[in-house]
Amino acid sequence: MKRLTLEMQGRLNYAIGRFNEPRLRIDSGETIVVETEDAWSGQVRKKGDRRDYSKMPYGNPQSGPIYVNGAERGDSLAVRIEDIQPTIGQGATRTPSYWWFIGSVEAAVLDKFLGSNLPENMRICPIKEGKVYFSEKYVLPYEPFIGTIGTAPPLEVVSSGLLGNHGGNMDLPDVCVGNTIYLPVYVDGALLHLGDVHAIQGDGEITGNGVEMPSECTLTIDLLKEKTIPSPRIESPEHIMAVASSGVGRSLQDAIRLAFIQLVFWMEEDYGLDRSDAFQLCAQVGRLRLGNLWAVAAKFPKEYLR
């Protein structure tokens, strides 16, 4: 089994793009182990630590890219997540001192709600025996997932803090152990990047972070030749999910509609449902998962597809 350790990786990537040098080359069907650093580039390890933006102004460092032999534009990758383990037995989370994802009106409301000069409140959370210790009083389940994962976009270089049809910083808790994420291939080798692993996170990631942790991810990567998809898809034992994102010129409401439209196309193309029936069924039994405040996954139960 091939491994990509942080030591082998050397310099981590803070953008996902076709010009990043491959750190590992694999064949379709291989299972690999990839080490990732936490979203704060390893700067937070003990109580009192803070991000030093003068030394590292960016977040979400990415391991890879991983070059998949034979992958070409128009193909897809199927990345099955076999296991995610913390490498140092802890993660960290915080309440940010600034609300970088909220507009001026909402920020004013939050300022009244939370009080001005909100302290950053970095918190170290031990992880052991399948639990995340937020505090002595609050013990949370260990529900790890990969927050940022994506292939290289066709032309542009995209910050690892952003997302799009290539994947990226979706922060969707369904990108978890036992599930498979499907990603479009735009360039030779696909150039798979991943990082920003969370031990647990609620829908919306409303503070801008989960319990961030360095990790060891075990992945099985299959190349699906001539299988073209428009954007990321996720499959669990119970659901199929289509992912869409908001962004420039697209609201979260638009992204929700788009995710369900892509889900209907998937149901039609791969499962033979009539498009109208599929759309109406989504209205009755479809579900929605919110990742961060830009990513949504429209979900449909597989029991109705059998």
Q: Tens digit of pLDDT for each residue in 146-177?
A: 999 999 999 889 999 999 999 999 999 999 99
Q: Residue 25's pLDDT is what?
A: 98
Contact 238, 301 (CB under 8 A): yes
Least confident segment among 27-31, 56-60, 130-134, 180-184: 56-60
Alpha-carbon dihedral 64, 229, 143, 292, rounded to 10 degrees: 90
d(CA 173, CA 118): 27
pLDDT at 79: 98
Q: Which two tokens stand for residue 162?
A: 């952003």
Helix (H, G, I), strand (E, B) or coil at 112: helix
Which three-class secondary structure state does DSSP give residue 239? strand
| Contact (CB, 8 A) for 253 and 298 | no
* pLDDT number for residue 177: 98
Q: Are strands 215-224 and 167-169 parallel, antiparallel or unpaired?
A: unpaired
CATH of domain 238-306: 3.10.28.20
pLDDT value for 57: 80
* Domain spans of the chain, in order of start: 2-87+144-228, 238-306
For residue 222, the cross-strand partners are 78
- pLDDT computed for residue 106 by the predictor: 53
Looking at residue 174, what is its pLDDT? 98
CATH of domain 2-87+144-228: 2.60.120.580
